Amino acid sequence: MNAPRLTSALQGRFSPLRFDPDHRLSGPDVEALLEAARWAPSAGNAQPWSFHLRRRGEEGHDRLVAHLAGSSRRWAPDASALVVNLARREVDDGLLYSEFADYDLGQAVAHMTVQAHAMSLACRQFRAFDLEGLHNRLGVLPGWHILTMTAIGVPLRGDTAPPARERRSIVDLRTAGVSSP
């Protein structure tokens, strides 16, 4: 059930496990998704992120599929696009670029996820892939790190959020993690 006063932009969002294999993302769709990430806040406006996006059928999509884990291979190839989410943690000489790089990337991916939902698309972010193999295959530059991938598309008819998606209580959110709440 939706929480009271939850903004309509978040209502109904869920991470599908089945995507419509016939849906195609248009060029403007891709631009809108990247634009949402582009406008995410980041520490010092460093924008320490990169999104390697390939649409299904596009050159380079196959090599992303080749590095999926067994679990994600069951559903991610059907998504309209796969995105590799990278953060820049260090500058070339190994010095810290931003201690907030991972935080910032997560926030940018969240923006993309909400934008997708507003476009009647859905995202499933995931870690079930061969990170080292993909890192090598893409030739990830020093200082950059792959953190997650995102599958974006239209949920297959009938794929809806599980009715009993567990969520921690608001009380717990406000008290966990500190000894003197």
Ligand X SMILES: Cc1cc2nc3c(=O)[nH]c(=O)nc-3n(C[C@H](O)[C@H](O)[C@H](O)COP(=O)(O)O)c2cc1C
What's the min distance (Å) between Cβ of 51 and ligand X? 15
Select from 29-37, 39-47, 93-101, 122-130 the region that touches ligand X (CB under 6 A). Answer: 122-130
**Sheet of 144-153, strands arranged across:** 49-55, 81-88, 144-153, 122-126
Task: Tell me the residue ranges of DSSP E strands in the chain.
Answer: 49-55, 81-88, 122-126, 144-153
- Site residues for ligand X, 18-57, by CB under 6 A, read none
117 binds ligand X (CB under 6 A): no
Given a contact cutoff of 8 angstroms between Cβ atoms, the answer to whether 102 and 87 are in contact is: yes
Query: How far apart, in Å, are the Cα atoms of 88 and each of 19, 25, 41, 101, 132?
Result: 30, 27, 15, 6, 16
When binding is defined by CB under 6 A, the residue of 124, 151, 152, 154 that contacts ligand X is 124
Q: Which is nearer to ligand X, 56 or 124 (CB)?
A: 124
When binding is defined by CB under 6 A, the residue of 96, 161, 173, 176 that contacts ligand X is 161
127 binds ligand X (CB under 6 A): yes
Residues forming contacts to ligand X in the complex (CB under 6 A) are 14-15, 72, 124-128, 148, 161, 165
